[in-house]
């Protein structure tokens, strides 16, 4: 019999909203719409299915697009629509019952991350703020994440495990191909994450002997939006809406901020 997944009450789900989309014309990734639905809403749907404690993690004040008035207005609108049930009543009811907190990277995170904040800095910030022993990390720019696919990562999770991630490719054993912002982390991983931030790398953290790497399921689970070609390419095999013969049924729309 396989080990059961972690109970919801043991976890916090954190949606990372720091992606500024520099290679996408400066569009905040969390406001990109897939078939009319902001990626923020899609990530929140996964978050509320995994935990009853949900937070958004944004960059520090003065860094990133979160504080841009146009972005802030669009983000507030997307959250209001999600609460009202525009993107599904299950999501709306969960957000009305317990609205997500907004966490910000702070000066202490800049001290660890220096002048090049990124995914590892954001992960450290989330772990430092996590009120529960386990944290689900969910990046908005992974539009095909699902709670059903992620939940098995938590099966049997217990100390001394630091993390449980999916990894793609033959190099997974060395941390290559692992997606650190689409998996489970123990709050106790903070010390090791900060050590890697000071003089190591995200890949080395993922390759730590106490981080469990599982081959990623076939399909589009870890497909990332990084460049314009990702918005127009046919959907990867296994993506919801992928049509036979490679025709795309996915329609990404960049937010208009004027």
Question: What integer pLDDT is reported at residue 242 of this predicted model?
Answer: 52
| Total-model pTM | 0.90
Q: Single out the residue of 164, 181, 160 nearest to residue 215, CA to CA.
A: 164
* Domains of the chain by residue range: 8-253
Residue 127: Cβ within 10 Å count:
22
Would you mind telling me the total number of residues written for the chain in this entry?
Answer: 258
**CATH, range 8-253:** 3.90.550.10
- 252: tokens are 């990404």
Ramachandran angles phi, psi of 79, nearest 5°: -65, -40
- The Cα 214–Cα 47 span in angstroms is 20
Q: CB of 218 within 8 A of CB of 171? A: no
- Tell the residue number behind the tokens 């793609």, with chain if given: 168
pLDDT at 238 (0 to 100) = 59
What's the confidence (pLDDT) of residue 1?
46
**Helix-, strand-, coil-residue percentages of the chain, each rounded to 5:** 40, 15, 45
> If you write DSSP's letter for every residue of 195-238 in order, what string do you get?
HHHHHS-HHHHHT-TTEEEEEPPSSSTT----SHHHHHSPPPTT
Partnered with residue 16 across adjacent β-strands are: 57, 139
pLDDT tens for the chain, 258 residues long, are 478 899 999 999 999 997 666 777 778 899 999 989 999 999 999 999 999 999 999 988 777 788 889 999 999 999 999 999 999 999 999 999 999 999 998 776 655 544 445 888 899 999 999 999 999 999 999 999 999 999 999 999 999 999 999 998 745 556 678 999 999 999 999 999 988 887 768 888 999 999 999 999 877 788 888 877 777 766 666 565 554 444 456 777 878 665
Torsion angle of C-alpha atoms 140, 141, 143, 147, degrees rounded to 10: -40
């Amino acid at each position: 019999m396989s080990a059961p997944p972690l109970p919801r009450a043991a976890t916090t789900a954190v949606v990372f909203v720091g992606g500024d989309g520099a290679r996408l014309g400066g569009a905040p990734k969390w406001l990109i719409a897939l078939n009319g639905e902001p990626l923020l809403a899609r990530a929140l749907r996964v978050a509320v299915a995994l935990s009853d404690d949900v937070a958004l993690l944004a960059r520090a004040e003065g860094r990133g697009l979160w504080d841009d008035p146009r972005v802030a207005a669009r983000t507030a609108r997307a959250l209001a629509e999600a609460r009202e049930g525009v993107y599904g009543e299950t999501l709306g009811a969960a957000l009305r019952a317990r609205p997500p907190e907004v966490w910000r990277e702070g000066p202490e995170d800049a001290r660890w991350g220096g002048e090049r904040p990124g995914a590892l800095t954001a992960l450290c910030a989330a772990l430092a703020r996590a009120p529960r022993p386990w944290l689900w990390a969910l990046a908005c720019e992974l539009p095909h994440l699902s709670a059903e696919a992620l939940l098995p990562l938590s099966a049997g999770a217990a100390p001394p495990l630091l993390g449980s991630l999916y990894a793609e490719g033959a190099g997974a054993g060395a941390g290559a191909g692992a997606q650190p912002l689409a998996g489970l982390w123990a709050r106790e991983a903070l010390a090791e994450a900060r050590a890697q931030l000071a003089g190591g790398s995200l890949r080395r953290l993922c390759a730590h002997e106490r981080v469990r790497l599982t081959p990623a399921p076939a399909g589009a689970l870890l497909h990332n939006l990084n460049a314009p070609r990702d918005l127009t390419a046919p959907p990867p095999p296994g993506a919801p809406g992928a049509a036979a013969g490679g025709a795309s049924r996915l329609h990404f729309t960049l937010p208009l901020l004027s």
